[in-house]
Amino acid sequence: MKVACIQMDMMFAKPDDNFKKAVSLVKEATAGGADTVVLPETWNTGFYPKENLAELSDDDGKRTKEVFGALAKELNVNIVAGSVANRRKDGVYNTCYVFNRQGQCVASYDKAHLFSPMQEDRFFKKGDHLSTFVLDGIRCGVIICYDVRFPRQTRTMAINGMDMMFMVSQWPLVRVPHLDALTKARAIENQMFVVCCNSAGKAGETVYGGNSSVNDPWGTTIAHAKGQQEEIIFADCDTTILKGIRESINVFADRRHDLY
């Protein structure tokens, strides 16, 4: 699978402009030969306009599903549509939608771990489920930003058969060394591909760090953004290597179920 990460510099609190830009970037990534295109976290609003968050949010994912479902079908490409600020009856969620080549929404995931240092937990509702799905025959899953600091979430998904994890994020520049370390660790310990699509640009005083990456199950970085500017990175992920890696170091068989 050839994956493209769109390290998007979105416009703060301007969803109409961001939808238009995201569509253009997905088309650019597809023209580069991608099988699966990935967007970053809350690309529709930026992270995140507190004053009028609900008004700027998607309405139960309707716009995202309409635009990117049709686009996936038109371009014959899988789209992991980052995440959007998403308004439902009981509040606003940080939601990722995933579309296959036929334009079907095959997964939705609400961010489980909300970033309390930036008061995300005051403005968004917590998700209540994990999300795994299949794209082009590959078992995949998705997490959103802060989730990566909670390894039991990723391990639970890996035990259930995940071969490729997509992480969409708005990770700040000041903590990029953590981003690189955590994504590589999740790849190694779970023997899977980890695709991290981070944002670029600035929102308020926060500078977002870019440095999107793709790590293989050995922890080798097979693609990495040049830095913190908007760009698209591509990586060829050969999932046929997974069987040999897992047989040579069988961490799943050797786990101590009696201890933890």
Catalytically active residues are: 41, 111, 145
Q: Which amino acid is at 163?
A: D
Q: Give me the helices (H) in the chain, please.
A: 15-31, 53-56, 62-75, 120-123, 151-159, 176-190, 242-248
Residue 193 CA to residue 178 CA, distance in Å, equals 18
Residue 99 CA to residue 65 CA, distance in Å, equals 8
Q: Which amino acid is at 196?
A: C
Helix, strand, coil in percent for the chain, rounding step 5? 30, 30, 40
The answer to whether residues 132 and 141 touch, using CB atoms and an 8 Å cutoff, is: yes
Residue 185 CA to residue 195 CA, distance in Å, equals 12
User: Of the candidates 42, 59, 34, 16, which has an alpha carbon nearest to the alpha carbon of residue 206?
Assistant: 42
